[in-house]
Amino acid sequence: MSTQVGFWNQKYDRSSFIYGRRPNQFLLEVASEAIPAGARVLSLGEGEGRNAVWLARQGYRVTAVDFSKPALEKLERFSAELGVSVDVICSDVVDFDFSDTRWDAVVILHLHLAPEPRRMVHGRVVEALCPGGVVLLEALRPEQMEQPTSGPNSREYLYSVEELRDDFADLEHQTLRSEDRFIKAGEHRGPTSVVSLLARKER
């Protein structure tokens, strides 16, 4: 087991939800307008399911990928409790086979990859989108290292506007912004430096 998987498994080894049960605020704000009803949505680095379960409750067909088994077990209990269905795949996103399906939307919320896998996965995401499909991404910026709230403790896992502009250069950027926001997500509570992207593939 890689150190990263072990780190996340340990974090998820508790009954409470680390990031809470409410969906990410950016997702909540943009999903219904950006993603057509009933669309096929892939969520990468989904964790305990707060976003996937909310998407499934909106009527989307959701597949969630994460390399942490305990996180996905919590997701399955959570979705069963709310009576919705989410397809779950336990895999490193780097090893995930994107060639099987074309997605109407790919959601990437606080999945912090090192530069090389980040560029590779983002490239595969662009290819895996349907014409007109969207990427919805939020991540922490390097400025997060100055904030009191938690996040990766190395610059290489933090994303900048410029990096995302390059990674998704083939898409039309509907939102690409950096901001400092007060985020309340389970145990994460306080000022947070984020970058948000909503980008669409040509139809």
Query: Which spans of this chain sit near ligand SAM (rule: CB under 6 A)?
Result: 4, 8, 19, 24, 45-47, 50-51, 66-68, 71, 92-94, 109-111, 113
Q: Which amino acid makes up residue 168?
A: F
Taking the least distance from each CB to ligand SAM, the nearer of 153 and 203 is: 153
Residue with tokens 């039309």: 172
Taking the least distance from each CB to ligand SAM, the nearer of 19 and 168 is: 19
> What is the pairing mode between strands 172-185 and 188-200?
antiparallel
At residue 15, φ and ψ (nearest 5 deg) are: -80, -30
Q: How far is the CB of 21 from ligand SAM (least distance, A)?
A: 10
Taking the least distance from each CB to ligand SAM, the nearer of 45 and 133 is: 45
Q: How far is the CB of 202 from ligand SAM (least distance, A)?
A: 27
Q: How far is the CB of 83 from ligand SAM (least distance, A)?
A: 21
Q: How far is the CB of 163 from ligand SAM (least distance, A)?
A: 17
At residue 184, φ and ψ (nearest 5 deg) are: -115, 105
Taking the least distance from each CB to ligand SAM, the nearer of 68 and 144 is: 68
Taking the least distance from each CB to ligand SAM, the nearer of 31 and 109 is: 109
Q: How far is the CB of 102 from ligand SAM (least distance, A)?
A: 21
Q: How far is the CB of 182 from ligand SAM (least distance, A)?
A: 16
At residue 149, φ and ψ (nearest 5 deg) are: -85, 165
- Within 8 A by CB and 6+ apart from 181, the residues are 25, 191, 192, 194
